[in-house]
Structure 1
Amino acid sequence: MDTSAYVQAVVEQTDTFADWVDGKDATAPVPTCPKWTLADLVDHVGSTQRMVAMLVGEQLSEPDSAFARYVPAPADSSQWRAWLRDGAAAAGRAFAEVGDDTPVWDPSGAAAGVPFWSRRLFGEACVHRADAAVALALPYELAPQLAVEATEDWLATMTSRGYWENRPDFADALRGNGQTLHFHATDASGEWVARREPDEVALERTHAEADVVVSGPATDLLLVISRRRPLAASSLDVQGDRAMFDLWIEHMNWVTDA
């Protein structure tokens, strides 16, 4: 997917999320983010989109000024739908006004902030809509190829140089000597090999033999590796070193720790 496709999908995912949470109990717990209520989840989704709109729209090389202008969600949940849609629309306008090579702060450690943030907002929208589905006891559906794209976002972000350097707990647990995990979506085109090295987790988009192979529907793959669905409640098949996969899942705690 290119930047415009990601941004369009952000708007669509946010529209569904907004419809789901509209008028709901702000104090409802979000089981997949144990520290959050539904109000916290809404606040995170909408405020993140607004901050990214500032980063991209103002072509910021440092995030501080965008973070300082944090816009909280309304306390009244009957206002959430409009507020969420306004945030997604603001992000859409910001991305429409820049090119992929526009210099924008990129926390992954690369130098492609605009593509990074379009993909990141898409991944956020997909995963946090899953949080809302659990909190509100709603069915969660995502087209397989979109689930592959969201999985790509999760894996690419979690294995980025920026994440490795800023999360020493992750680095200490996942550093290795070439051990490999293979993730394979069976209902759409998506395969990844994560190789644990002493100074990074290297990610390749390929099919290969690995120490542990995790395969199944793309949506299950996304939800299990992002800790939104227990492995036992999924249709995933795990072959090989199960303990290595368990270690991986244990440290996929980037969003759920928030």
Structure 2
Amino acid sequence: METSASLNAVVEQTSTFADWVHGKDASAPVPTCPKWTLADLVDHVGSTQRMVAMLVGERMAEPSEAFARYVPGPTDSAQWRTWLTDGAAQAKQAFESVADDTPVWDPSGDSAGVPFWSRRLFGEMCVHRADAAAAVGERYELAPEHAVGAIEDWLDTMTSEGYWQNRPDFAEAMRGAGQALHFHATDAPGEWVARREADRVALEHKHTEADVTVRGPAVELLLVLSRRRPLAASSLAVTGDRDLLGLWIEHMDWVTD
């Protein structure tokens, strides 16, 4: 998804998120993130968007200044709608001021910070809107092509060099000898093969034989892979080594706690 389209979708989804949480009980639990309250979720979404706006808008080569200028969310939930929509607008404005090849810190280990962060904000908003829906009792819907984009973000991030280096627990658990997991969206173009190698997880985009294959609607794939919905509660079809899939899902705990 192009940067401009990603940010337009971020603004649109943040507006929906903001409407859902506005004025709600800040202490309400978030079932899909058991350690979080609704206030924690709102703080995470809005503060992350502001931090990325700083990183991108100020062309930062490393993140310490953006982290130091962390902006916490309001404690009064009646202020949440405005605070959230302002954060999304700031992020969109920051991306409009740069090109895709503008040098910006890229935690993936690559050197494409602007596309990385536009993809990340989009993926984050897709997943965290599901968290908000679970917390306040709203119906979660996502267009299949957007769900494919969010899966792409999730898998690209989890298999990046930067993630492997910064999460030794994940790296140790995912080391393998070529075991492959195939994820296949059935309602939009989207196929991924995650192959467990000794020094990385290699992500491929093709149809191939695998040790376990998971097929179904893109939004179901997204929710299961991001641990927002148990596999048993989904409509996904699984063939092959279910234990391998279970190991994979067990370690998909990024931005969950």
TM-score (norm 1): 0.99
SS in 1 for 2:208: coil
State the partner residue of 2:59: 59
SS in 2 for 1:51: helix
State the partner residue of 1:132: 132
Task: Work out whether 1:50 is the aligned partner of 2:50.
Answer: yes
Q: Distance in 1 between matches of 2:177 and 2:103?
A: 35
Amino acid across the alignment from 1:202: A
Q: What are the superposed Cα offsets for residues 12-64 of structure 1, whole Å, 9 maximum, x if unpaired?
A: 11011000000000000011111100000000000000000000000000100
Amino acid across the alignment from 1:69: R
Unaligned runs of 5+ in 2: none
- The equivalences for 1:20-39 within 5 A come to 20-39=20-39
- Give the fraction of aligned pairs with identical amino acids, expressed as a percent: 77
Amino acid across the alignment from 1:172: E
SS in 1 for 2:195: strand
Q: What are the superposed Cα offsets for residues 131-174 of structure 1, whole Å, 9 maximum, x if unpaired?
A: 01111121110000000000000000000000001111111111
SS in 2 for 1:56: helix
Q: Distance in 1 between matches of 2:183 and 2:233?
A: 18
Amino acid across the alignment from 1:5: A
State the partner residue of 2:172: 172
- The equivalences for 1:222-241 within 5 A come to 222-241=222-241
State the partner residue of 1:123: 123
- C-alpha root-mean-square deviation of aligned residues, in Å? 0.5
TM-score (norm 2): 0.99
State the partner residue of 1:41: 41
SS in 1 for 2:85: helix
Amino acid across the alignment from 1:32: T
Unaligned runs of 5+ in 1: none
CA positional deviation for 1:115: 0.1
Q: What are the superposed Cα offsets for residues 105-136 of structure 1, whole Å, 9 maximum, x if unpaired?
A: 00000000000000000000000000011111
CA positional deviation for 1:200: 0.1
Q: Which consecutive aligned stretches of 4+ in structure 1 deviate over 3 angstroms post-superposition?
A: none
- The equivalences for 1:61-140 within 5 A come to 61-140=61-140
